[in-house]
Chains A and B, each alone.
Chain A
Amino acid sequence: MSEAAHQHAEPTGFIRKYIFSVDHKVIGLQYIGLGIVAVVLGMILSWLMRLHLGWSTLAIPGLEKLSPAGAPGNVMTPEYYLSLMTMHGTLMVFFVLTNVPFAGFGNYFLPIQVGAPDMAFPRMNMMSFWVTFTAFLVLIAAFFVPGGPPLSGWTAYAPLSAVGQDAGPGEGWGQTLWALSIAIFCVAQLLGALNFIATTLDLRTKGMSLARMPFSTWAWFITSVIGLLAFAVLLPACVLLILDRTAGTSFFIPGGLVISDRLQAHTGGSPLLWQHLFWFFGHPEVYIAILPAIGIVSHILPAFLRRPLLGPRVLISCLAAIGFLSYMVWGHHMFVSGMNPFSAILFSVPTLVITIPATIATLLWIGSVYGARIRFTCASLFCLGFISVFISGGISGFFLAQPSIDTYLHATYFVVAHFHFVMGVAAIFGMFAGIYFWLPKMVGRMMNETLGKIHFWFTFVGVYCIFMPMHYLGLAGNVRRYAAFTDDYLAPLIPVHQFITIAALITGAAQFIFLFNLVWSRFRGPKATENPWQATSLEWSTTSPPPFDNFGGRQLVVHQEPYLYGVEGSAGDYVMQTSPETVEAR
């Protein structure tokens, strides 16, 4: 195998080694790096938005330089607020939540965890990253075109997104670039998903049966199957949107529209068609963001609980069930959209059913914490924090899944709280856990635990201060996507928004502790050993960082289940997957 697989010799030139590299580890780091750039950008955008929501006449120094039209006199215009909101959502959902836990960690660790020297198609893998990078550049270009970034939100509902400049600034060039960027992004994700599936099924080393694959590998695998089908729908949807915008078609634009006092030339299209296509992708996308985080957390937890999780098979079945159900529920985003009200009931039931596998998974984690002796590290704290925010975000799903209640809560801050908790914060906690856990493996240096714990406490308390109050605002009927709250009903709620803004600024600032820790540890951190956490899966059976072919020419053989911790009668309290010793089942 190793001779056959290593047609590619280790490259020596800088460009082949670090830029156009076919090495899945470098590609994984590139995805994570791109994700960090996107998350910093997205977070700064959210700061600007939050400041505007708290103090809508506040002048933010320097903003006018960034966008003379969007912020005359440094005060944000409502349309610029919407542009920032759109870019925040797009960057976060696509370039952070999809890129880091799935493409980033998946690329780096999936081959290693199954004992493969690389991905099944290394060159395609490289292409997939650079296509993603192109999509990122196209999206960022929207900041610099006339009219600025689009203002139709990350869901880009037609006809606002389809009719062009008449619908507002940003709906010209900006929106076209947005649609183009997402279309390109879809292509990259399809390439990535093919690679993940082929690698998981075909490149497992001897003994790594499907049942012995770690949770993270399972999660990446299930996610790539979801992505394979979901992005395949968003891609043509974006192409049709681009046709509507540039070629004069009317897929999403009905006739007789009068926009900016001009009668539009389009006829006969359906705005609901866009919503159906978008949410057929959009709901599975939520699981594309959260399943890898679930996998990562389930992978990391046992190493710090020093015990296997309860019901590992059940947990994997839950992930698969969530993935399967994700395709039957897209209509719950459309309860008030004007589709047949009867279908609301059809979409509501499977949505509620999803809470069952999600609850089982949560109870399995909580039950696994019972009776364990936890090693409290940054990684394990973020895992425990993940469980908590996942519960908080999931609970509000009970409300939004029911059409009768959703009619009241739809498009309020309750929804904002729900999805930020369950797919935003939870996935980010998974990412933080992943970085604290795996950085020693990826760069060969340990991260600073004290800084990490400070970072954890600020983040954990911070996200609750930011997103919990949004539930209350939603119950009071505070509508989302408003640039300011000017009317008699919403104005009294502004103090709550100011509280949220302050919490967001502090929590955001605490993230720079993390960035500092990351950079500092990369160069100054203590050297990491091969297996600093005394963990069992295959990535800990190689050097930190792993050599070009992952295992230095060795072909590993797997003898054990993935999470043998707390084993009695063994030399240590854990048994590596590669260890040939016989272990009695407990």
Chain B
Amino acid sequence: MSQVDITAESGHAGLMEDSPYGIPSGKLAMWCFVISDAVTFSAVLFAYGYLRIGSPDWSTPFQFSPTILNGIGMTFILLSSSLTMLAAVEAVKAGRKSAGFGWLCATALLGALFAALHLVEWGRMIDEGWRLFQNPLGGSVHFGAAFFSITGLHLLHVVGGVCALAVIAVGYRRGGYNSIDVEVAGIYWHFVDLVWMFVFPLVYLMNVQ
């Protein structure tokens, strides 16, 4: 992956046509990935909406406490992690290595905390009898299917992001990754955050009792 990033940064002018967006290839590819991933999430959310409209017996099981409260906490944590990510990008751009490393670690930790809270939430729901194929309240079984698959897909992105951030943080400190790699990771992380801003209202708030 590194070969073109270097090309794009150095020695680009004069020998090659300018990239129409004036950004390194890694970033461009990440933006493309984000677009494609957004379509994937849209497809799953579309499926959720389609099935929900078709289910007259849809369950709305969530109560303000604990589920929504927990959700607000998770949202707050994820939003904060976007801020720390911004700080990390600023720091690495300015060349402040240890600060950049610190902010990256903070972002990864917040992400891990989000994932942990989410898993606790899942555990509680599973204890209550929710499954992919089962609704303890007797309503549409799609609730469990939609809830676990949508939040699961998002959780997969968070966990993947946390791992990537950890690798990049360590790599950045050792010099294996540069500021552009951090920025690219940042685009991904903000995207994961943005998706949550859709998932939270659609999957949580719209299912309050």
Which chain A residues have a beta carbon within 8 Å of chain B's beta carbons? 1, 3-8, 118, 120-124, 190, 193-195, 197-199, 201-210, 228-229, 231-233, 235-237, 239-240, 243, 247-251, 265-270, 273, 276-277, 280, 555
Chain B: minimal CB distance from A205 (Å): 6
Contact of B4 among A193, A198, A228, A269 (CB under 8 A): A198
**Bound CA span A231–B33, Å:** 12
Of chain B, the residue at the smallest CB distance from A255 is: B141
Asked if B51 CB lies within 8 Å of chain A CBs, one says yes
Across the interface, do B43 and A237 meet the contact criterion of CB distance under 8 Å?
A: yes
Max chain B Cβ within 10 angstroms of own Cβ: one of A195, A202, A251: A202
Across the interface, do A5 and B145 meet the contact criterion of CB distance under 8 Å?
A: no
Asked if B94 CB lies within 8 Å of chain A CBs, one says no
Of chain A, the residue at the smallest CB distance from B2 is: A7
Across the interface, do A201 and B47 meet the contact criterion of CB distance under 8 Å?
A: no
Of chain A, the residue at the smallest CB distance from B14 is: A206
Chain B: minimal CB distance from A557 (Å): 9
Contact of B15 among A206, A239, A248, A269 (CB under 8 A): A206
Given A4-B10, A236-B40, A268 contacting B4 (CB threshold 8 A):
no
What are 28 A-B contacts with C-beta separation under 8 Å?
A6-B3, A8-B3, A120-B25, A121-B4, A123-B1, A190-B33, A197-B28, A198-B4, A199-B25, A201-B20, A202-B25, A203-B7, A206-B16, A206-B17, A209-B17, A229-B39, A231-B36, A232-B39, A237-B43, A249-B133, A249-B145, A250-B145, A265-B133, A266-B133, A267-B140, A268-B51, A276-B50, A555-B15
Chain A residue numbers with a CB within 8 Å of B132 are 243, 247-249
Of chain B, the residue at the smallest CB distance from A212 is: B17
Chain A residue numbers with a CB within 8 Å of B51 are 251, 268-270, 273
Asked if B113 CB lies within 8 Å of chain A CBs, one says no
Chain A residue numbers with a CB within 8 Å of B14 are 206
Chain B: minimal CB distance from A269 (Å): 7
Chain B: minimal CB distance from A78 (Å): 32
User: Chain B: how many interface residues by the 8 Å CB criterion?
Assistant: 45
Across the interface, do A205 and B39 meet the contact criterion of CB distance under 8 Å?
A: no
**Bound CA span A1–B13, Å:** 9
Given A7-B2, A270-B51, A277-B47, A194 contacting B33 (CB threshold 8 A):
yes
Across the interface, do A202 and B50 meet the contact criterion of CB distance under 8 Å?
A: no
**Bound CA span A229–B37, Å:** 9
Q: A190-B36, A197-B29 are in contact. List 6 more A-B contacts (CB 8 A).
A: A198-B28, A206-B17, A231-B36, A240-B44, A250-B145, A269-B51
**Bound CA span A209–B17, Å:** 7
**Bound CA span A240–B40, Å:** 12
Across the interface, do B133 and A205 meet the contact criterion of CB distance under 8 Å?
A: no
Chain A residue numbers with a CB within 8 Å of B24 are 202
Chain B: minimal CB distance from A190 (Å): 6
Chain B residue numbers with a CB within 8 Å of A266 are 133, 141
Given A193-B32, A206-B15, A206-B17, A232 contacting B43 (CB threshold 8 A):
yes
Across the interface, do B47 and A251 meet the contact criterion of CB distance under 8 Å?
A: yes
Max chain A Cβ within 10 angstroms of own Cβ: one of B16, B51, B149: B16
Across the interface, do B11 and A4 meet the contact criterion of CB distance under 8 Å?
A: yes
Which chain B residues have a beta carbon within 8 Å of chain A's beta carbons? 1-4, 6-8, 10-12, 14-17, 19-21, 24-25, 28-29, 32-33, 35-37, 39-40, 43-44, 46-47, 50-51, 54-55, 131-133, 140-142, 145, 149, 153
Of chain A, the residue at the smallest CB distance from B11 is: A4
7 nearest A-B residue pairs (beta carbon): A248-B133, A232-B39, A204-B17, A249-B145, A1-B15, A232-B36, A202-B19
**Bound CA span A34–B17, Å:** 34
**Bound CA span A201–B44, Å:** 30
Across the interface, do A198 and B47 meet the contact criterion of CB distance under 8 Å?
A: no
Contact of B149 among A205, A208, A243 (CB under 8 A): A243
**Bound CA span A251–B21, Å:** 40
Of chain B, the residue at the smallest CB distance from A557 is: B15
Across the interface, do A120 and B4 meet the contact criterion of CB distance under 8 Å?
A: yes
Across the interface, do B29 and A198 meet the contact criterion of CB distance under 8 Å?
A: yes
Across the interface, do A269 and B142 meet the contact criterion of CB distance under 8 Å?
A: yes
Chain B residue numbers with a CB within 8 Å of A249 are 132-133, 141, 145, 149
**Bound CA span A335–B203, Å:** 32
Chain B residue numbers with a CB within 8 Å of A8 are 3
Across the interface, do B35 and A229 meet the contact criterion of CB distance under 8 Å?
A: yes
Chain B residue numbers with a CB within 8 Å of A229 are 35-36, 39
Across the interface, do A243 and B16 meet the contact criterion of CB distance under 8 Å?
A: no
**Bound CA span A385–B131, Å:** 56
Chain A: minimal CB distance from B6 (Å): 5
Chain B residue numbers with a CB within 8 Å of A210 are 20
**Bound CA span A249–B12, Å:** 52
Contact of B141 among A206, A236, A267 (CB under 8 A): A267
Chain B: minimal CB distance from A94 (Å): 18
Chain B: minimal CB distance from A569 (Å): 28
Chain A residue numbers with a CB within 8 Å of B12 are 1
Across the interface, do B54 and A233 meet the contact criterion of CB distance under 8 Å?
A: no
Across the interface, do A201 and B19 meet the contact criterion of CB distance under 8 Å?
A: yes
Contact of A5 among B7, B39, B46 (CB under 8 A): B7
Chain B: minimal CB distance from A147 (Å): 23
Across the interface, do B29 and A4 meet the contact criterion of CB distance under 8 Å?
A: no
**Bound CA span A228–B142, Å:** 28
Chain B: minimal CB distance from A27 (Å): 15
Of chain A, the residue at the smallest CB distance from B21 is: A201
Across the interface, do A204 and B47 meet the contact criterion of CB distance under 8 Å?
A: no
Chain A residue numbers with a CB within 8 Å of B37 are 232
Across the interface, do A247 and B40 meet the contact criterion of CB distance under 8 Å?
A: no
Across the interface, do B17 and A208 meet the contact criterion of CB distance under 8 Å?
A: yes
Chain A: minimal CB distance from B29 (Å): 5
**Bound CA span A202–B21, Å:** 9
Chain B residue numbers with a CB within 8 Å of A276 are 46, 50
Chain A residue numbers with a CB within 8 Å of B47 are 236, 240, 251, 273, 277
Chain A: minimal CB distance from B184 (Å): 12
Across the interface, do A205 and B28 meet the contact criterion of CB distance under 8 Å?
A: no
Given A209-B17, A270-B50, A1 contacting B40 (CB threshold 8 A):
no
Of chain B, the residue at the smallest CB distance from A281 is: B43
Chain B: minimal CB distance from A550 (Å): 14
Across the interface, do A121 and B16 meet the contact criterion of CB distance under 8 Å?
A: no
Given A204-B16, A236-B44, A243 contacting B145 (CB threshold 8 A):
yes
Chain B residue numbers with a CB within 8 Å of A231 are 36
